[in-house]
Amino acid sequence: MSALPAVAAVDWGTTRMRVWLVDEAGKVLAERRGDDGLITAQQKGFSTILEGHLAALGAPEALPVIVCGMAGSRQGWLEAPYVAVPAPIGAILAGAARVPGQQRDIRIVPGLAQRLADAPDVMRGEETQLAGSGLPANGRHLVCMPGTHSKWVLVEDGAVAGFGTWPTGELFSVLAAHSILRHSLGEQPKPVAPDSPFFQEWCRSALAEGGDVTSKLFSIRAAGLLQDLQPDDAAACLSGLLIGGEIASAKRRYGAGAAPVALVASGALASLYGAALDLAGLAVRSVDADEAVRAGLVEAARENGMIARSGVAT
């Protein structure tokens, strides 16, 4: 006998969305993925897109929906105001904002704001991944969520103490396409392999520089002129430099700590950051990013009373 869906969980980003139907116990019953992220939804309407996916999944009309991601931004469906850190993770999730004028109970998880004069920062979506990353309730934990804008989060006794953003993925794309390094990397660099000696050497070198990346960028160009560095290897150098620099910088800011770093990532990024964290001498606990966001959404549904707290099993 198949279980009935208790809630629909939606990760709604800038360019894509994912919808899961989950039962009372948090078990996935059905899933859909679409390219209709924030940008598409601004034109076609958030409700239209969501209802389309729910209908395709055969979701009941009254099924409640919990959402995280850019759908909750000022340019989104409804602005779910930022929660200021420090804040307990449970309290963050519990503050989901209800979308008005809908037949369903639809709520959007708020993002986080760090209102420090010298390190202002924001996140939206990653707070839900964080909640689903299986952190122990106690102790000091560092979480690394790599991506276009990598987030590092310091969690102390179940509360977000602080966080930072390193735009590593964006720097790679922008420099590869628009800086002088485009001559070094070529038109379409191959994906970088974590065991590339170029990735490893430049990562190691960046780790030794405490987050100073800009002094090494032009050396990739010079290595092409002086050492006949090939385009795919140049891409590995740039990747190693930027990822190593990010880790060195985050380590400098937050310290290494006793517990392993929780690396919340999938696919190629998980391998590259795993290798780089290893080079940095940091122990790692790997968490699949897709599973983390889904588990975080289920937890958010529980915190908002949309499903019962009893059946805890993901």
Sign of the alpha-carbon torsion through 230, 232, 235, 239: negative
Q: Locate tokens 């894509």: which residue?
A: 16
Among 56, 91, 174, 268, binds a second copy (CB under 8 A): 174
- The partner residues of 145 in beta bridges, in order of sequence, read 151
Among 252, 267, 283, 305, binds a second copy (CB under 8 A): 252
DSSP string, 121-176: EEESSHHHHHHTS---SSSEEEEEE-STTEEEEEEETTEEEEEEEE-HHHHHHHHH
* Residues 106 and 99: beta-carbon distance below 8 Å: yes
The reply on whether position 277 binds a second copy by CB under 8 A is no
Residue among 241 and 306 whose Cβ is closer to a second copy = 241
The reply on whether position 165 binds a second copy by CB under 8 A is yes
The reply on whether position 14 binds a second copy by CB under 8 A is no
Residue 136, preceding bond cis, omega within 30 degrees?
A: no
The reply on whether position 184 binds a second copy by CB under 8 A is no
The reply on whether position 197 binds a second copy by CB under 8 A is no
Residues 38-97 that bind a second copy (CB under 8 A): 82
The reply on whether position 115 binds a second copy by CB under 8 A is yes
Distance (Å, whole) CA 294 – CA 174: 30
The reply on whether position 179 binds a second copy by CB under 8 A is yes
The reply on whether position 211 binds a second copy by CB under 8 A is yes
Alpha carbon distances (Å) from 3 to 24, 105, 139, 292, 301 = 8, 21, 36, 22, 17
Residue among 124 and 141 whose Cβ is closer to a second copy = 124
Type and span of the H or E element at 284: strand 284-288
Instruction: Please choose, out of 17-25, 113-121, 184-192, 299-307, the segment that lies near a second copy by the rule CB under 8 A.
Output: 113-121
The reply on whether position 213 binds a second copy by CB under 8 A is yes
Instruction: Please choose, out of 2-10, 85-93, 111-119, 285-293, the segment that lies near a second copy by the rule CB under 8 A.
Output: 111-119
Residue among 48 and 75 whose Cβ is closer to a second copy = 75
In our burial notation (b when 16+ CB lie closer than 10 A, e otherwise), range 255-287 reads eeeeeebbbbbbeebbbbbbbbbebbebebebb
- Min CB(289)–a second copy separation in Å: 19
Q: What phi and psi, each to the nearest 5 degrees, are found at residue 35?
A: -90, 10
Residue among 20 and 172 whose Cβ is closer to a second copy = 172
Among 1, 226, 258, 313, binds a second copy (CB under 8 A): 226
Distance (Å, whole) CA 105 – CA 213: 47
- Min CB(213)–a second copy separation in Å: 6
Among 4, 44, 212, 283, binds a second copy (CB under 8 A): 212
Residues that bind a second copy (CB under 8 A): 82, 113-115, 118-122, 149, 164-168, 170-171, 174-175, 177-180, 205, 209-219, 221-223, 225-227, 242, 245-246, 248-250, 252-253
